[in-house]
A and B are shown apart, each in its own frame.
Chain A
Amino acid sequence: MNYQKGEAEMAAIKADQTLDCKGLACPMPIVKTKKAMDLLEAGKVIEVLATDKGSLADIQAWAKNTGHQYLGTVMEGEVLQHYLRKASSDEAIESKRYSDTIANEELKQKLERGDRMTILDVREPAEYAFNRIPGAISIPLGELEARLSELHPEDEIQVVCRTGTRSDMACQLLAEKGFARVNNVVPGMSEWTGPTENN
């Protein structure tokens, strides 16, 4: 479980929407989260603020049942900050078109050998904050085009997301822009067994 004591830096986790359920007793935090989630665009991240301690176990169980991605919870004093990402039904089945891929296991071996490379994590900031490959840099897919200058076209870049779909799109974009040594990490963080870090 990604459960962490609050630290100043954790408070800055970026979410697309914030839902305030402070002061509400069970079942309202989950009832309101469900309503907000129904309206949220697939792939977006919501931050739910709650003071009901029972919301921690319940929101995890609810997310598991509904297929939404529970990212983690941060405690800030009396307030629990839960992070969830809305599932998208087409995410896993969309065909991947970028041909250069690297398997999780192979990337793990390269890391162990200490190979020089850039690991680019294109998931949402909240996903990155709770669980990432050590040393990975964060540029969410939606910001990639605007932030290309942060990357070097001649570097070897391993692009990772949760299931290999967003990273596939990122690889295509990078290839178009002249990046020659780019690999899509498959399947990605959903099955990553190597070392991880968080904020």
Chain B
Amino acid sequence: MNASAGIKGMTSKELTRRILAKEDLFILDVRNENDYNDWRIEGERIVSLNIPYFELLDGVDNALEQIPANMKLLVVCAKEGSSMFVAEQIADAGRTNVHYLEGGMKSWSEHLEPVFIGELQDGGAVYQFLRLGKGCLSYMIVSGGEAAVIDAARMTDRYMAFAQARGITIKHVLDTHLHADHISGGRQLAERTGAAYWLPPKDAEEVTFAYEKLEDGRDITVGRAVIRIQPVYSPGHTIGSTSFVVDAQYLLTGDILFIESIGRPDLAGRAEDWVGDLRDTLYDKYKELSPELLVLPAHYGKMSELGEGGKVMARLSDLYRHNPGLNLQEEEAFRRAVTENLPPQPNAYEEIRQANMGKIKPTEEEQREMETGPNRCAVHDQ
């Protein structure tokens, strides 16, 4: 389908920019009701409306009544075709400023936006790769022409292009834990760049490939100036979950601690077993670390967790004051909070775990299908 003169495509990158810049946008999502209710584009200044395309086959009058004429309009569907079909009719009805999302929710879910987090002591830097479509966060730690990538998404081209454009060699690839909500790009990225691939051994007992063991005391260095990545065994979301203290400034918490929530312990079917580990990590182990550390999690659940410029980051001491998951003093209340009334489990989470262990090898199309929907790794993501 070719776009008619009246409508314009909007890329996921442009949409990301608008969301981070908090610009007004009206979204008409023409997917079916279930898909919309399960997972949709959100933003502080976004107003969205769901009318399935198949209710607009005889005309768009019903939709026009509900779309403000003075707002920029973005029509969204699963891939692209239906949004163009509807957008063209809206433009034909005389509306201007009508856009469709190029590649639909499929490309939205795969877009990674690098956000500069801060400098390191020797002049290196930390970048957060924001995956707005999934609420996933990954990181690149750069120093002296070398980089480590942490919790890479499967779109490995993006990290490689970013490194290449800056003349950086990716030397290490790390996963904080065995992910259940998205396919890890870690192993592929390591293979493509010749980097070492690091995993927590307790999460990797069943993996079908070789890896380096993340262990307390086995520091990883990046660049000549030696940025230390110190693994801190911090079980709870999974039994192997490992956090990283980077350059004595940042604490990468994986799926253990988020900005407004905490990790859920049930995605490997072991909630009751792991709830004690999760509490020990959050209430004891992290307390032994410097309260000045800046927490960088592997996910966010709500748009309110995005700070200035899209940064998802908070000081550990602030989280101890404000994060509800860190303020359940009664052990029983904590147990209930992380085992009862949990949000639905992420789509295909069991198959995703199998794929991340190398036990099954889904095609790219199947991987995309498995990752559909929100991440739901935190206890408060409803």
One of B3-11, B73-81, B151-159 contacting the partner: B73-81
Check B78–A27 contact: CB distance below 8 A: no
Q: Given that A27-B85, A57-B32, A57-B34 are contacting pairs, would A62 and B54 also be in contact in the complex, using a CB cutoff of 8 Å? A: yes
Q: Which of A15-49 contact B (CB under 8 A)?
A: 25-28, 30-31, 34
Who on chain A is nearest to B54 by CB?
A: A62
Check B81–A30 contact: CB distance below 8 A: no
- Answer yes or no: A54 CB below 8 A from chain B CBs: yes
Check A26–B81 contact: CB distance below 8 A: yes
- Answer yes or no: B233 CB below 8 A from chain A CBs: no
**What is the CA–CA distance of A27 and B55 in the complex, to the nearest angstrom?**
11
Q: Which residues from chain B sit less than 8 Å from chain A, CB to CB? A: 32-35, 52-55, 57, 77-79, 81-82, 85, 369
**What is the CA–CA distance of A31 and B82 in the complex, to the nearest angstrom?**
10
Residues on A with beta carbons closer than 8 Å to the beta carbon of B55: 65
User: What is the number of residues of chain A that contact chain B, defined by CB distance less than 8 Å?
Assistant: 14
Check A25–B81 contact: CB distance below 8 A: yes
CB distance from B69 to the nearest CB of A (A): 24
Q: Which of A112-161 contact B (CB under 8 A)?
A: none
A–B complex contacts, Cβ < 8 Å, 21 sampled: A26-B77, A26-B78, A27-B54, A27-B57, A27-B77, A28-B81, A30-B53, A30-B54, A31-B85, A34-B57, A53-B369, A54-B78, A54-B79, A57-B32, A57-B35, A58-B32, A58-B54, A61-B33, A61-B34, A62-B52, A65-B54
Residues on B with beta carbons closer than 8 Å to the beta carbon of A58: 32, 52, 54
**What is the CA–CA distance of A85 and B357 in the complex, to the nearest angstrom?**
46
Check B79–A25 contact: CB distance below 8 A: yes
Q: A61-B32, A65-B55 are in contact. List 19 more A-B contacts (CB 8 A).
A: A26-B53, A26-B77, A26-B78, A26-B81, A27-B53, A27-B54, A27-B81, A27-B85, A28-B81, A30-B57, A31-B57, A31-B85, A54-B78, A57-B32, A58-B54, A61-B33, A61-B52, A65-B52, A65-B54
Who on chain A is nearest to B34 by CB?
A: A57
CB distance from B95 to the nearest CB of A (A): 19
Residues on A with beta carbons closer than 8 Å to the beta carbon of B52: 58, 61-62, 65
Q: Given that A57-B32, A58-B52 are contacting pairs, would A26 and B79 also be in contact in the complex, using a CB cutoff of 8 Å? A: yes
Those 6 A-B pairs whose CB atoms lie nearest each other, nearest first: A27-B82, A62-B54, A30-B54, A61-B32, A25-B81, A27-B85
**What is the CA–CA distance of A100 and B146 in the complex, to the nearest angstrom?**
86
Which of B54, B78, B81 interacts with A61 by CB under 8 Å?
B54
**What is the CA–CA distance of A34 and B82 in the complex, to the nearest angstrom?**
15
**What is the CA–CA distance of A62 and B79 in the complex, to the nearest angstrom?**
18
**Best-surrounded residue of B33, B57, B79 (most CB of chain A within 10 A):** B57
Residues on B with beta carbons closer than 8 Å to the beta carbon of A27: 53-54, 57, 77, 81-82, 85
**Best-surrounded residue of A26, A34, A53 (most CB of chain B within 10 A):** A26
Who on chain A is nearest to B33 by CB?
A: A61
Give A50-90 as 1s and 0s: 1 = Cβ < 8 Å from B's Cβ atoms.
Answer: 00011001100110010000000000000000000000000
CB distance from B299 to the nearest CB of A (A): 27
CB distance from A30 to the nearest CB of B (A): 5
Residues on B with beta carbons closer than 8 Å to the beta carbon of A28: 81
Residues on A with beta carbons closer than 8 Å to the beta carbon of B32: 57-58, 61
Residues on B with beta carbons closer than 8 Å to the beta carbon of A31: 57, 85
**What is the CA–CA distance of A65 and B62 in the complex, to the nearest angstrom?**
15
CB distance from B46 to the nearest CB of A (A): 23
**What is the CA–CA distance of A123 and B32 in the complex, to the nearest angstrom?**
30
CB distance from B245 to the nearest CB of A (A): 44
Residues on A with beta carbons closer than 8 Å to the beta carbon of B34: 57, 61
**What is the CA–CA distance of A131 and B52 in the complex, to the nearest angstrom?**
28
**Best-surrounded residue of B53, B54, B55, B78 (most CB of chain A within 10 A):** B54
**What is the CA–CA distance of A61 and B35 in the complex, to the nearest angstrom?**
11
CB distance from A158 to the nearest CB of B (A): 37
CB distance from B103 to the nearest CB of A (A): 12
**What is the CA–CA distance of A26 and B81 in the complex, to the nearest angstrom?**
6
Residues on A with beta carbons closer than 8 Å to the beta carbon of B53: 26-27, 30
Residues on B with beta carbons closer than 8 Å to the beta carbon of A65: 52, 54-55
Residues on A with beta carbons closer than 8 Å to the beta carbon of B35: 57
Who on chain A is nearest to B30 by CB?
A: A27
Residues on B with beta carbons closer than 8 Å to the beta carbon of A53: 369
CB distance from B36 to the nearest CB of A (A): 11
Who on chain B is nearest to A34 by CB?
A: B57
Who on chain A is nearest to B84 by CB?
A: A27
